[in-house]
Each structure stands twice: as C-alpha cells, then as structure tokens.
Structure 1
Amino acid sequence: MDFDLRWILIALPLAFAFGWLASKLDTRQWKREQRDAPKAYFKGLNLLLNEQQDKAIDAFIEAVQADPDTSELHFALGNLFRRRGEYERAVRVHQHLLQRGDLPRAERERAQHALAQDFYKAGLFDRAEDAFAALRGTAFEHEAELALLSLYERSREWRKAAEVARHLEQGGSASFASRIAHYLCEQALEAQARGQDAEAQQLLAEARKAAPQAARAHVLAGQMLARREQHQQAMAAYAELLAANPEAFSLIAGDYAAAALACNSAEAQQQALQTLQAQYQRTPGMHLLNAIARLEPAAAAQRERLLEHLRQEPSLSAARLLLAQGNAQLSGEEAPLVNAALDKAVRPLQRYRCAACGFEAQHYFWQCPGCLNWDTYPPRHVEEQ
C-alpha cells in the first residue's frame, strides 16, 4: 500500500501547534511556581524577623511544599524547629534531606551536622555521638569534635574527652592542656572512689605534667596525702602549688595550716606560719588570715591582724570577726542578735562568682555549674574581688 504524503503535510503543523501549546503551559506553570515560592519564603522570613515563629514555620512549610527540592528552605525549617525545642520535627526534616540522592556532598555534610545538633539538643547522646563521628574528614570536623568534647563532659566520659582534646590540640586549633588536666583529675577522683589510690596518684602526676600551672592536680594531691595522714608530704604538695600558681594557694591555706598542725612539729608549724605570712603580704585575703590564726591563735595577735587588714583591705568578714571579739561587752541577749545580723549580711559576700556567667556558689567549683566553663571562678570571695 502506498503512503500518502499529504498526511505528513497535515501532521507537521499539528505537531508544531501542540508543542508550542505545551511549552506555553509549562512556562506559565514554572513562572507561577517561581512567583509563589519566593513569596512564601519572604513571608516566612518577615514573620521570623518579627519573632512570630509559629506563623513563620507555616510559611516555610508552604514554601517547601511548593518546591520540595529547595534545600535551603529545609535547613531554615529544621533550624526553626530546633530553636523551638521541637527536636523530633527537626530530625525528620534533616533526615529527609539526607535521603535525597541528588543532594550535593557539601549540602549532605551540612545536613549531617544539623542532624547531629538535633540529637545533641534532644539529649540523645548516643545518636549524637554517632552523628558527629560521621563528620570526621569533612568540613565540619572541627565543629563536630568540639561538640563531642562537650558531649563527653556532660556524660562524664573523661577518657574519651581527653582523647578528643588531644586530637584537637594536635590539630593546632588551641591549647587544651588545662582541660586535659581536669579530665585526668576527674579520672583520679573516680579511681580514688574505687579505692585505687596508686592509679589516682599516677593520674594526678600526669595532670601536673600536662598543665604544670594548673592548680587542681596539686590541690587534690595534697588533700589525698592528708587523708592518708602523710602530712609532711601534703605540705610539700601545697608548697608546689604555691610555686606553680600563687593566686590559687588561698584555696588550700586552711588545709596547709591543718597539715602543719597535724605534723606535731614546732618546726613545721613555724615554717607554715612564715609561708602564710609571706603570701599574705603579697596578696592579702581572709583565707590566708584565717589560716594564720590557726597557727597563731592568740586573741591579741588576731585582733591586731584584723585591724591591720581593715586598714588595707576593708571587708565585712574581717569586721564581723573583730566585732565578735568585743561581744563580751554586750549583754547576754544582745550578742547573739548582733552575730546573727552580721552573719546574714556577710553570707552573700562570702561566695565565689563565675567570671564568665556570674553564677555564684558557696563552694569553689573547677567547672562552673551555670555555663560549664572550666577555671572561671577566681579563688577569692566576692567581697575581695
């Protein structure tokens, strides 16, 4: 059968017409989508800037539905969920991104980092650890290791924290010697709690080697020796602290005096008294003054020291002690009332205050309970700062 060429002449114009019509419809749809998606995006951004997060999330969800392939919108949405504490929804958003096969490597690493942050904020430390570990060898490796360091601190996995800190230090980002010393001290305390004193002493020796200027290892070594009634050795450990970190010596001034008294040696007590007096001349403080009073308890001498301290370093604590010595002149009912009023007034001033966040505590902390930073507490009370 012969083919009629007239059909070709009829089909070609029809095919051209259908193609032109389809392209017009597709172009209009594409323009409409491009017009609608940015509109929803900018609406969400405006709401976010006005701190209307609920409405901003709805706008971003609308934008994502209009263009599911836009990764930036997913990141914005996931970050919003995390900031609001909706960690499960943030995880779903970032996991959805990771499941996309067309996601570029850089965006995939970014999504992995965001997912790890979601797990960390949600308190899912096991999953967060795995997620951060997956970022080794990526552009987010440094941030991931810092996050792992914080994670191990919060979960009190001191050995792992020390390993990460050493790796960071080898990378040349900063010195982590002081932190490593703290981690070794924490391990020493755990070993001591298990009754493994030899291991604890070895860990404290490593801590002193890692950070010779750090105070904590010297303090713990001296206190451990004192508990074992090795008072002469405890005094030597405290003397090492005085040489390495004189400012922190006031923290154990009372322990130093107690060790000297426990030696039952006039020579040891005289040596300790001279050491404390010399340090007090350099940095006057109530810790040192009280320690001196333990070795030289005569009331007249203590009164003279308090008067001199008030002349040089006016403090309510010294005034309270001085007034307490003169309470004998008050009636039996007046003395307790005066002491109670002074104790109440001085108590807030006898606290330690974190230099980073201002958190105050009655006891000295090596790591601030408020901001979790290390060595941010000055070794002096609030009234002496």
Structure 2
Amino acid sequence: MDFDFSWLLLGLPIAFVLGWLASRFDLRQLRIENRQAPKAYFRGLNFLLNEQQDQAIDAFIEAVQNDPDTQELHFALGNLFRRRGEYQRAVRVHEHLLGRGDLSRADRDRAQHALAQDFLRAGLLDRAEAALQKLEGTRYENEARLSLLAIYERSREWAQAEDVAQKLDESDQASYGTRRAHHLCEQATERVAAGDLGGAGRLLQQAVALAPEAPRPAIDSATLQLRKGDAAAAFDTLAALSETAPLALPLYAAAMQQAAVASQRSGEALALLQRRYVASPSIDVLEAIIALGGTPALPDDAPSDAAISAQPRDGYIAHLAHHPSLVAASRWLAGERFEHEQFHPQVQRSLDQATRPLMRYRCAACGFEAHQYFWHCPGCQAWDSYPPRRVEEL
C-alpha cells in the first residue's frame, strides 16, 4: 500500500497551529502566575506594615506557592512564623530551605542561623546547640557563640561556657575576662562541693589572674582559705580587696570579721571596717564592727547628740542617728528589756517579719529579689547586676 503524502502535508499545518496555541497558553499562564506572585508579596508586605500578621502569613504562603524557588519569601515566612510563636512551622520552612540543593553558601548559612533561632525561641536548647555549632566559621560565628554562651550559662555547663567566652575574648569584639572569672569561680564551687579543694584553689587562681579587680574571685579565695584553716591568708586577701573593691565590702565584711578573730587580728580588722563605714555606711559592715566588739566611727561633722556609749550594741543607735533603718532598730530592740517583757517575743517576731523583705538583694536589671546574693541573676541571667546592698539601703 502506497503512503499518501497528502496527509503529511495536511498534518504539518495542524501541528504548527496546535504548538502555537500551546505556547500561547503557557505564556499566558506564566504571565498570570508572575502577576499573582508580586501581588501576593506586596499584599503580604502591606499586612505586615499594618501589624496584621495572620493576613500577612496567608499572603506570603500564597506567594511561595506561586513561586516556590524564591528564597526571600521563605525567609520572610519563616521569620513571621517565629514571631507568631509557631515554631514548628518556622522550623519546617527553614529545614526545607536547607534541604534544597540549589541554595547558595550564604543563603545556607542564613537558613542555618534562622533554624537555630527557631530552636532557641522554642526552648529546644539541645537542638539549638547543635544548630549553632554548625555556624562556626561563618559570618554568624560571633552571634552563634553568644547564643551558645547563654545556653551553657543557663544550663550551668560552666566549662563549656568558659571555652566559648575565651573564643569571644580572643575575637577582640569585647572583653570577657570578668565573665570568664565567674565561670571559673562556678567550677571552683562545684569542686569544693565534691571535696576537691586543691582543684578549686587552682581554678580560683586563674580567676584572680583574669580579673584581678573583680571582687568575686578574691571573696571565693578567702572563703576557701578559711575552709582550709588559713585565716591569716584569708584576712590578707580580704584586706587587699577592700582597697580595690571597697564598695563590695558589705558582701565580705562578715568573712573578714571571722578571719580576723581566727587569726587574732581583730584590732586591725576593726580599724579597717570603721574607716570604710565612715566612707560608706552599711548594716552588714556595722554588724561586723559590732561582732568585733567595736562601735562605728562617726563622721567629723556628726552632731553632738549622736554620741554613743561604749556598748557595742549601741552602734545601732549611732547608725540610726544618720540613717533611719527599721533593720537596725529591730536589731537594737532585740537585746533590750522593757516593762512588759512578756510581750517582747511577739513584738520581736513581728519586727523580724517586717524587716525580712528589707534584707533582700534586688537585681538592678530585672528587679528579681532574693535573700541570697547572686552573682548571676536567676531571673534575667545578667552578671553582676545585684548591688552589694540590701533593699533597705538602696
């Protein structure tokens, strides 16, 4: 059977027309999608500027569906999810980005950093730590180290925290010497609890070398020296500290008094405490003076009615003459005898209850109050944010 070429001549124009129509349809569809994507993007941007985050998310999702290859839309959508507290959706967006093979190195680092932020905000510290460690050597390195430092400090992993702080210190972005000294002091505290006094001493020596003017390494060193029975060395350490950090004296006045009594240097300690009390009166310094059997020295311009007797307890009266204090008044009344002595215990209990909140320390950064002095605030995680004075004296 011979082939009829007339069908071929007829089919070629038909194929051409069908191809042309198909191309026109594809181009039209592409134009429609390209017009829809920018519209959805700008609509989402408008919602975002008007703080309508729900509508903005819907618009960006539409834009991503129309143009799934656009990285910026994915980043915007992931950040919106994170701000909304929808951390699982943010994680999925950023993990999807990291799973793409066509992503540039810069965008991959950016997605890794965004994923780490998702985990941090969600409180998934283990996964955040792993994500942050992958940013070593990238432009997000220092930011990642700061976040790692916060994680290690919050979880009380002091050795890892000190390692990260050392890297930050070596990067010349800021000085982390005092912070590293805190980390070493925390490790020393753990060594003392474990009975390793020698190891604790070596750590404290490193802390003193890192931050020679910071009060904590010296205070912890003196406490360790007292524990070892070397009261003379403890007193020398604290006496030297009173020259470099006199404002922190209320924190170690009691330890100085104990070291002075144990090393038979009460007179030397009393003179030092009285001199510091005149410059900066404090209830803690006052009580150390009274415990040593002395009375607070008065300033040169003290009024004549501020005279006190030789009784150490009357030091509270001298303090009250210049610094009205419910705590000092309660301490003085505790040792006095009155006409209705049978009611004195009830009155004293009431006074003690009233003065207990006044004896707290308060964080200057977040206002967290505690009876114990904290170098690292449990509330806001800030270092050295507690003034060394009680609430009543602020």
Question: For the superposition of Structure 1 and Structure 2, which TM-score range results when normalised by the shorter chain?
Answer: 0.7 to 0.9
Aligned length: 380
For 1:331 and 1:46, the matched residues in 2 are separated by 76
Residue 379 of structure 1: CA displacement? Answer: 0.6
Residue 355 of structure 1: CA displacement? Answer: 1.5
The answer to whether residue 178 in structure 2 is matched with residue 178 in structure 1 is: yes
Structure-2 residue corresponding to 1:37: 37
1:341-360 correspondence to structure 2 within 5 Å: 341-360=350-369
TM-score (norm 1): 0.88
Residue 338 of structure 1: CA displacement? Answer: 3.2
Structure-1 residue corresponding to 2:372: 363
Deviations along 1:311-351, whole A, 9 cap, x unmatched?
A: 3333222233344455x225135433432333333222221
Residue 231 of structure 1: CA displacement? Answer: 1.6
Residue 137 of structure 1: CA displacement? Answer: 1.9
Structure-2 residue corresponding to 1:111: 111
| Between 38-47 and 137-146, the greater mean CA deviation after superposition | 38-47
1:1-385 correspondence to structure 2 within 5 Å: 11=12, 15=16, 21-48=21-48, 53-263=53-263, 265=264, 268-296=265-293, 300-302=310-312, 304-326=314-336, 328-385=337-394
Q: Identity across aligned pairs (percent)?
A: 53
For 1:303 and 1:96, the matched residues in 2 are separated by 72
For 1:240 and 1:144, the matched residues in 2 are separated by 39
- Cα RMSD between the aligned structures? 3.0
Residue 255 of structure 1: CA displacement? Answer: 1.5
For 1:53 and 1:319, the matched residues in 2 are separated by 57
For 1:174 and 1:59, the matched residues in 2 are separated by 42
Q: Secondary structure at the match of 2:356?
A: helix
For 2:157 and 2:378, the matched residues in 1 are separated by 17
Q: Secondary structure at the match of 1:329?
A: coil
For 2:9 and 2:105, the matched residues in 1 are separated by 50
For 2:232 and 2:379, the matched residues in 1 are separated by 37
Match for 1:138: what amino acid? T
Residue 48 of structure 1: CA displacement? Answer: 4.8
Deviations along 1:162-203, whole A, 9 cap, x unmatched?
A: 222111111110000011101111111122222211111011
For 2:376 and 2:21, the matched residues in 1 are separated by 71
- In 1, are the aligned partners of 2:132 and 2:144 still within 8 Å (CA)? yes
Deviations along 1:115-174, whole A, 9 cap, x unmatched?
A: 122233344434333321221221111111111111222232222222221111111100
Residue 218 of structure 1: CA displacement? Answer: 0.9
TM-score (norm 2): 0.86
Match for 1:279: what amino acid? R
- Could you say if the C-alpha distance between residues 301 and 28 of structure 1 is closer, same or farther in structure 2, counting changes exceeding 3 Å? farther
For 1:371 and 1:61, the matched residues in 2 are separated by 36
For 1:331 and 1:311, the matched residues in 2 are separated by 26
| Between 237-246 and 307-316, the greater mean CA deviation after superposition | 307-316
Unaligned runs of 5+ in 2: 296-308
For 2:51 and 2:355, the matched residues in 1 are separated by 43
For 2:32 and 2:392, the matched residues in 1 are separated by 68
For 2:311 and 2:74, the matched residues in 1 are separated by 73
Q: Secondary structure at the match of 2:136?
A: coil
